[in-house]
Amino acid sequence: MRTGVDAIVSVPASKSLTNRYLILAALASSPSTIHNTLISRDTELMLDALAAFGVGIERVECSDGSTTVHVTPAAELARGPLEVQCGLAGTVMRFVPPLAAVAGATVKFDGDPAARLRPMAPVLDALETLGANIEYAQEPGMLPFTMDASALRSGEQVVIDASGSSQFISALLLVGHALPGGLTLRAANGPVASPDHIMMTVQTLRELGVKITVDEDGRGWKVAPGALAGFTVTVEPDLSNAGPFLAAALASDGSVGIRHWPTTTTQVGGKWVQILSQMGAEVHHGDDAVLTVRGTGKIHGINYADASELAPTLAALCALADSPSKLTGIGHLRGHETDRLAALETELNKVGVQVVATADSLEITPAELRAADIHSYEDHRMATAGALLGLAIEGIRVENIATTAKTMPQFPQLWADMASTAKARG
């Protein structure tokens, strides 16, 4: 019996774009307006951090349910001593220390217990190269730490190991124009994590008028020093968070549309179009800007590299496929909200799927599926992956679905609304 969903969904704004725009607005020379700002745990933490530096934040609730944020830069960013709470937000724990460095501030950073396990050293070592002094309260290179950036100087070329996270690179690029002498940055030999997110940073900077060049091999960046004028932008919907909804069309053999799908995007979630088509969906981007995905009764396995934050949803969909899949280039997901490779191996095994997790890949071989309680590890994407399994497997229960508030507090309601459109189709 098939029970296809048939829904059109508005997903909230992009976390990655919201937190980039907020950092840049704080560093601008005049006020900025950010329409359709995401309001979620990760962006609330960013807003609080900026307010601590003396940045003016005014929120306006709009009649369509979105939030516009007006950002007024501080005449001079506060130097503290301040405290910044990072929660479990990579974009806060990696993007705010360079802002503190530019401010010349003394700041204590801490986060959730799980945040204390996430890699930080490459970006912090780079800030030390630029003259910041960092005292670690527990483990070197990890939260919690106190940074004193009162003696920041102009740097020579900074070289960063970006195999653990693209955010180390993005964090420095975002403040490069505000550093004395700008910034010259290279990725050290070895893999670069989530390269799409670095391109998003580069494109965002260019869109706002920052001069940035990328080396021919794509592993080096030069940001010219200079003032950034205030700006007005509208944040795109979060296309990564659209993923579980779109995948639901395949999982339930139904149809799901996402409103306001951009014609071009820097978000890695833009790749859902290609991924889901390859896995068997019919995909249509209409004149009304709705991207519609329809199940065709078939879900094929896929070999896919650099899925980045799409991997948990993709892995759950691969569990429902008619052939094996392999997701590669995702070793750094072991340092995300949880060790996602281990978590996916455990949870997909529970529902009967064979999963082999290597250092940097997942091999997923579908088998007969069974009900299980899916643990979410305080990881929003494990929770949404569990919800997706729940559409296809009778009796799945997802523990702590509220953890989706990290980037999409509306998830439980939006999901329930979509799921309620499913009808028995005999």
Ligand X SMILES: O=C(O)C1=C[C@@H](OP(=O)(O)O)[C@@H](O)[C@H](O)C1
Using CB under 6 A as the criterion, which residues of the chain lie in contact with ligand PEP when the complex forms? 89-91, 309, 336, 381, 407
Measured distance CA(357)–CA(368) in Å, rounded: 20
DSSP state of 29: S
Task: Classify the phi-psi angles of 308: left when phi > 0, otherwise alpha if psi is within -120 to 50, otherwise beta.
Answer: left
Residue 23's SS3 state is helix
| Closest CB to ligand X among residues 66, 163 | 163
Find the binder of ligand X among 332, 334, 340, 375 (CB under 6 A). Answer: 332
DSSP state of 206: H
Q: How is the beta sheet containing 282-285 ordered, strand by strand? A: 6-9, 255-258, 291-294, 282-285
Strands 291-294 and 325-328: unpaired
| Closest CB to ligand PEP among residues 116, 336 | 336
**309 assigned to active site:** yes
By CB under 6 A, tell whether 67 contacts ligand X: no
Q: x-or-dash pattern for ligand X, window 170-199, by CB under 6 A?
A: x----------------------xx--x--
Closest by CA to 256, choosing from 72, 1, 9, is: 9
| Closest CB to ligand PEP among residues 12, 90 | 90
Is 108 flagged in the annotation as binding?
Answer: no
By CB under 6 A, tell whether 91 contacts ligand X: yes
Contact of 237 with 269, CB cutoff 8 Å: no
Q: Which ranges constitute the DSSP H helices of 112-219?
A: 121-129, 167-175, 195-207
Q: x-or-dash pattern for ligand X, window 206-225, by CB under 6 A?
A: --------------------
Find the shortest distance in angstroms from Cβ 205 to ligand X: 13
Is 90 flagged in the annotation as binding?
Answer: yes
Measured distance CA(15)–CA(178) in Å, rounded: 23
| Closest CB to ligand X among residues 17, 82 | 17
Find the shortest distance in angstroms from Cβ 407 to ligand PEP: 6
Which residues are part of the catalytic machinery?
A: 309
| Feature table: binding site for phosphoenolpyruvate | 15, 90, 118, 167, 340, 381, 406
| Binding interface with ligand X (CB under 6 A) | 16, 90-91, 165-167, 170, 193-194, 197, 308-309, 332
